[in-house]
Amino acid sequence: AEIEKAGFDHFMLKEIFEQPEAIENSMRGRALPNEGQVRLGGIREHIDRLRNAKRIIICACGTSWHSGLVGEYLIEEYARIPVEVEYASEFRYRHPILSKDDVVIAISQSGETADTLAAIREAKAKGALVLGICNVVGSSIARETDCGIYTHAGPEIGVASTKAFTAQVTVLVLLALALSQKRTLSDEQTKDIIQDLYQLPKKVQEILNLNEEIFEMAKVFKDARNFLYLGRGFNFPVALEGALKLKEISYIHAEGYPAAEMKHGPIALIDENMPVVFIANKDSSYQKIISNIEEVRSRKGRVIVIASEGDNDIDKLAEFVIHIPDAMMPLMPLLTVIPLQLLAYHIAVLRGCDVDQPRNLAKSVTVE
Ligand code: G6P
């Protein structure tokens, strides 16, 4: 196992650092900037039916459910097809309303999650077209779906999912583009997005280079008993994922919330002991999130911000700021999630937790 960890202390850290490569592998041969097109062999036969879907329902569990939420924002933004994201465990028992005009997308790293597998069986029985996004080749979900796209992130050993998430989101970008082709996006627009996508592995690497800085921050917050993560738009699912990573491996209670929804509940929890992580990159909701930061500050919450490179104005509003490179808004989750993974990792290690095998959790949940 020591050899397999390639010099890293844990599989999770190794897998976090493999993300530039994982993102690259999940786009390889699929995104063609010169042609302004994507090519996804595994869905080619069904592409017309996919593009004409009346509705897309994404079913998943855990971290894969979070990438599904990013997928919802991506597909609605680019392809303008209505998307719903469902916990597989809820969807399967709700006597779901489905027809042959619906597409169900199952997202699963392992391809073996019992609830997700049951959900696709239900969807197939009702005539929906079922597409799988899996990491493990030949897994049950990959075999039972009508068509699919592998994420090619490589084996993921750490129980807390990291590179599988970024690979899933990368594939969802490609899928959203494929659904938009010849419909809602011109080749020129697709080309711009693919070119931005190609910049991501390098930008992820730049964020990984901030590891020491994030470790220093982890030392300051390691004894917190609660954490709040807030983001808006494309970064709302990242807030959920940041909170999940922390609670899974450090056992600190953490909640993710859409930043504006804070005033309908979590704001009551804020005092001088509450660290609040904001994802506040320069995008269309920047000004709004700044007001949310002010709201937390005025209640003495401890503010941590993930901000854009060069945005030094924000430094005076926070106890800690991690500056990261920007990308176009729909691609930002692939960048903003990285510092949150590292923060969770370092806090868990500092607390003496077993990060690769957290208590009570399993890598894949093959029973109900
Ligand atoms: C378990 C794992 C999570 C994972 C979830 C869904 O809870 O601990 O890391 O996100 O299952 O797994 P899947 O293989 O379907 O993506």
- The C-alpha angle 65, 368, 163, rounded to 5 degrees, equals 35
Three-class SS of the chain: CCCCCCCCCCHHHHHHHCHHHHHHHHHCCCEECCCCEECCHHHHHHHHHHHCCCEEEEEECHHHHHHHHHHHHHHHHHHCCCEEEEEHHHHCCCCCCCCCCEEEEEEECCCCCHHHHHHHHHHHHCCCEEEEEECCCCCHHHHHCCEEEECCCCCCCCCCCCHHHHHHHHHHHHHHHHHHECCCECHHHHHHHHHHHHHHHHHHHHHHCCHHHHHHHHHHHCCCCEEEEEECHHHHHHHHHHHHHHHHHHCCEEEEEEHHHHHHCHHHHCCCCCEEEEEECCCCCHHHHHHHHHHHHCCCCEEEEEEECCCCHHHHHCCEEEEECCCCHHHCHHHHHHHHHHHHHHHHHHCCCCCCCCCCCCCCCCCC
Q: Say what the pLDDT of residue 18 is.
A: 98
ipTM: 0.97
Residue whose CA is at the smallest distance from ligand 1 atom 15: 108
Q: Say what the pLDDT of residue 76 is.
A: 98
Q: Say what the pLDDT of residue 346 is.
A: 98
CA–centroid distance, residue 109 to ligand 1 (Å): 7
Q: Say what the pLDDT of residue 2 is.
A: 75
Residue whose CA is at the smallest distance from ligand 1 atom 4: 62
pLDDT digits (tens, 9 = 90+) for 109-136: 999 999 999 999 999 999 999 999 999 9
With a cut of 90, say whether residue 206 has pLDDT above it. Answer: yes
> Is the CB of residue 125 less than 8 Å from the CB of residue 89?
no
Residue range 141-164: mean pLDDT, rounded: 97
**Which residues is 103 bridged to in the sheet?**
56, 129
CA–centroid distance, residue 364 to ligand 1 (Å): 5
CA–centroid distance, residue 318 to ligand 1 (Å): 33
Nearest to 217 by CA among 319, 289, 313: 319
With a cut of 90, say whether residue 32 has pLDDT above it. Answer: no
**Cα 265 vs. chain centroid, distance in angstroms?**
24
Structure tokens at 362: 């399993």
pLDDT digits (tens, 9 = 90+) for 303-361: 999 999 999 999 999 999 999 999 999 999 999 999 999 999 999 999 999 999 999 99
Atom of ligand 1 nearest to the CA of 159: 8
The residue to mutate among 364, 366, 367, 368, having the most atoms of ligand 1 within 8 angstroms of its beta carbon, is: 364
- The C-alpha angle 186, 68, 58, rounded to 5 degrees, equals 90
pTM > 0.80:
yes
Atom of ligand 1 nearest to the CA of 361: 8
Buried/exposed 309-343: b ≥16 CB within 10 Å, e otherwise: eebeebeebbebbbbbbbbebbbbbbbbbbbbbbb
pLDDT digits (tens, 9 = 90+) for 244-297: 999 999 999 999 999 999 999 999 999 999 999 999 999 889 999 999 999 999
Residue range 186-190: mean pLDDT, rounded: 96
Report CA-CA distances (Å) from 7 to 10, 14, 157, 296, 346. 9, 8, 15, 40, 16
Residue range 147-172: mean pLDDT, rounded: 97
As for ligand 1, residues whose beta carbon falls within 6 Å of it are 61-64, 108-110, 113, 116, 159-161, 361, 363-365
| Better pLDDT: 32 or 337 | 337
Nearest to 96 by CA among 56, 134, 123: 123
Residue range 139-154: mean pLDDT, rounded: 98
Distance CA 200, CA 133 (A): 21
Q: Say what the pLDDT of residue 10 is.
A: 97
Residue 239: pLDDT band with limits 50, 70, 90:
very high
Q: Say what the pLDDT of residue 52 is.
A: 97
Structure tokens at 224: 């917190």
Atom of ligand 1 nearest to the CA of 248: 8
**Interhelix angle for 333-350 vs 236-250, to 10°?**
20
- Whether the CA torsion 135, 84, 78, 261 is positive or negative: it is negative
pLDDT digits (tens, 9 = 90+) for 56-108: 999 999 999 999 999 999 999 999 999 999 999 999 899 999 999 999 999 99
Residue 50: pLDDT band with limits 50, 70, 90:
very high
Q: Say what the pLDDT of residue 180 is.
A: 98
CA–centroid distance, residue 27 to ligand 1 (Å): 22
